[in-house]
Amino acid sequence: MTLRERLARTPPGYRFSIGRILAIYSGLMVALLLAALDQTIVATALPTDRLRARRDHASTRGSSPRTCSRSTVTVPLYGKLGDAHGRKPLFIVAISIFLVGSALCGLAQNMTQLVVFRAIQGVGAGGLFPLTLAMVGMIVPPRDRGRYQGLIGSVFAAASIIGPLVGGFIVDNATWRWIFFVNLPVGGRRAGA
């Protein structure tokens, strides 16, 4: 059996062909990697003086998106809206909110704006993880979900390695604003797909 035939095959219990599932899954993983990388890249850049922030704002800068993305309001809200309006459109909205927040963070003129814009970015990132899991549940039958969802852990492992390297490179070689702008080309491609 050729590779093309394997990818065109739809196994019993699946709604889509293997090729289509791999295409959907790779898009989901790139979006999830984007959100995970953002956290690790920003965490690397926070201790630098390039942000020119007062020390008392340091905890707020990092916790603002985490509070919004992992709050008890955001995840159930995305779940309920995904049930009502469909997960794919909501996933695109979550990526768009994340990207708008990233662009605004890169354009922030003071610490207050940066904190508010990181919160907006966190609201978008808060939808990426639960919607990814829900969409995997839609395209993969229950017997194989563990295998596909297990790969999500590899995304976070990759982000914990790649993020600090990219964050350190950006902080050493460019302005701090690029730690946010780096999301735009990849995320824009995912939102448009």
Helix, coil or strand: residue 38: helix
* 155-168 pLDDT tens trace: 888 888 998 888 88
- Between 42 and 189, the more confident residue is 42
pTM more than 0.75 = yes
pLDDT of residue 54: 43
* 140-191 pLDDT tens trace: 898 888 888 888 888 888 888 998 888 888 888 888 888 888 888 866 655 5
- Longest CA–CA separation in the chain, Å: 62
Is-contact 89 139, C-beta < 8 A?
A: no
Residues 6+ apart with CB under 8 A from 136: 25, 28, 145, 148, 149
